[in-house]
């Protein structure tokens, strides 16, 4: 049986995960146009990777990792531009996870404020775990860490977010 072409792989991946990658980008950039650009760039980079003859075992975490790197690149470019312009003028409580509790309380703005008060690494872990609905295995692969280490990081971030939530 013939392997599908890189174009077919990307078409299927876009159909399956395009909206999820876009939402991830919107959440991280907070700017729709930037999120659209990053989503497009993500799929173009993955297509180029496949066309170079590289193999991807699990496309979903690879897409998130690529999107994450594109977001970081864009952030660095914006920071460099700003500097230049300035110089020239899984924890369960009572059977429901923390994100379900926020949803129930319908206080999404509070969630975003609390998430923004976390370290970038903690916020990213929780975004990928709950907002992107990644398994620990996918999350570990995306972050380039072991499943065990990833589990510990998720647990610590959840505890910190719960503490912040209990203080409001």
What helix, strand, coil percent values describe the chain, rounded to 5?
75, 0, 20
CATH topology of domain 6-87: Rna Polymerase Sigma Factor; Chain: A (1.10.1740)
Report, as an integer, the average pLDDT of 132-158: 91
Report, as an integer, the average pLDDT of 125-146: 89
3-class secondary structure, 93: strand
CATH topology of domain 92-166: Arc Repressor Mutant, subunit A (1.10.10)
9 or 93: which carries more pLDDT confidence?
9
- Position 43 pLDDT exceeds 90: yes
Report, as an integer, the average pLDDT of 73-78: 81
CA-atom Rg of the chain in angstroms: 18
- Position 99 pLDDT exceeds 90: no
pLDDT of residue 51: 95
* Phi, psi angle pair for 129, to nearest 5°: -70, -45
24 or 107: which carries more pLDDT confidence?
24
- Position 152 pLDDT exceeds 80: yes
Report, as an integer, the average pLDDT of 98-108: 52
- Ordered by start, the domain boundaries in the chain are 6-87, 92-166
What's the pLDDT band for 97 if we cut at 50, 70, 90? low
Give the burial class of 5: count Cβ atoms within 10 A of its Cβ; 0-12 exposed, 13-18 middle, 19 or more buried: exposed
What's the pLDDT band for 10 if we cut at 50, 70, 90? very high
- pTM equals 0.62
- Position 98 pLDDT exceeds 80: no
């Amino acid at each position: 049986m013939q392997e599908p072409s890189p174009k077919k792989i990307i078409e299927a991946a876009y159909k399956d995960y395009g909206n999820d990658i876009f939402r991830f980008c919107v959440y991280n950039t907070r700017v729709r146009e930037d999120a659209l650009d990053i989503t497009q760039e993500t799929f173009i980079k993955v297509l180029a990777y496949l066309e170079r003859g590289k193999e991807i075992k699990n496309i979903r975490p690879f897409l998130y990792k690529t999107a994450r790197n594109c977001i970081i690149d864009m952030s660095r470019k914006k920071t460099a531009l700003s500097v230049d312009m300035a110089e020239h003028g899984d924890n369960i409580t009572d059977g429901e996870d923390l994100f379900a509790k926020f949803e129930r309380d319908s206080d999404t703005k509070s969630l975003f404020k609390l998430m923004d008060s976390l370290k970038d690494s903690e916020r990213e872990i929780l975004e990928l775990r709950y907002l992107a609905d990644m398994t620990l295995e996918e999350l570990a692969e995306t972050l380039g860490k072991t499943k065990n280490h990833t589990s510990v990081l998720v647990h610590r971030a959840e505890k910190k977010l719960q503490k912040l939530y209990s203080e409001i």
